[in-house]
Amino acid sequence: MRYLLLLAVLTPGQDCQELQTLGTQEYNERRYDQASVQFTRAVDACGATAPLLLALGQAQLLALRPADALATLDRVPVEGPEYVQALKVKAKALYLLRRDPDAQDALKRAAARAPADAEIPYDLGRIYYQQGRHTEAAESFRRAIALDPRAYKAWDNLGLALEALGDSAQAQQHYLKAIAIVHKDHPRYDVVYANFADLLIKLGNYQRAFDLAAEAAERNPSEPRNFFLAGKALLRLDRSDLSVRWFEQAIALNADYPEPHYLLAQVYRQLGRLDDADRALKSFKVAAARAPKERR
């Protein structure tokens, strides 16, 4: 995040600087709970500067503590230059708290202050997409791309919206556009590879789907969906023996993710491992009962 870079200038003392550095390192390694701890300590040591509050709020949001993130971001001065960024992060927190109208209002206030900011229509499009308003989502993602033609997340999510609207051909073209942008410039961005793999599995292009999912797993080995999709593609390729380790890794990363358990049960049954199949099916039922009915 851009505002994390601002932390480098906030160095009134060595302890303050070290805490900011530790927080940024934890954040970059996606250890968001630990980043929140370090940034909280930095706020105590350095003072409640707007860049530090933004960094803390973002870490709290990604640690799935949206209420804490809101409380932190409410401390960012309204008149300061960081307020637009605070509104954008607040919108994400409000959405996670199922306060969709408030989230949309925060983004509209941010857009009034920063009409050229491509991230704002992108974030609004994400809310529309999750609400099933796919036409409006596509329009928002197109606005983001018009503001920033290299907005790779907008290209990726425009693909998702078009896929939901039944235009698989255009969806593929938009996924490819996003991949062209992120391939070298954003080596840790994995989501478009997984989204494209998911579509190609539906279309029956299993080998290409596996290649994309494996690339997603390499880019982000902590995301279970990447391993699940790779295993699913291998299963469709009649490579059940190879799919096992991919499904098992997805489960190791998140035992409450139902789908890998279900397909792993099928694989075990195909391989004659009937006891393992029964255990996997029981695990699927437990995970399915725990899974949220609505994903946000």
DSSP letter assigned to residue 225: H
Confidence tier at 7 by pLDDT (50, 70, 90): low
Does residue 128 sit within a domain? no
Does residue 280 sit within a domain? yes
Number of separate domains in the chain: 1
DSSP 118-172: THHHHHHHHHHHHTT-HHHHHHHHHHHHHH-TT-HHHHHHHHHHHHHTT-HHHHH
Does residue 245 sit within a domain? yes
Does residue 89 sit within a domain? no
Does residue 174 sit within a domain? no
Confidence tier at 294 by pLDDT (50, 70, 90): low
Name all contacts of 63-69 with Cβ < 8 Å and 24+ positions apart.
Answer: 63/32, 63/33, 63/35, 63/36, 64/96, 65/36, 66/92, 66/93, 66/94, 66/96, 66/97, 67/93, 67/97, 68/36, 69/93
Does residue 215 sit within a domain? yes
Kind and range of the H or E element at 266? Answer: helix 258-270
Does residue 102 sit within a domain? no
Say what the pTM is.
Answer: 0.83
CATH code: domain of residue 283 = 1.25.40.10
For residue 213, give its domain range: 190-296
Tens of pLDDT along 270-293?
A: 999 999 999 999 999 999 998 876
Does residue 289 sit within a domain? yes
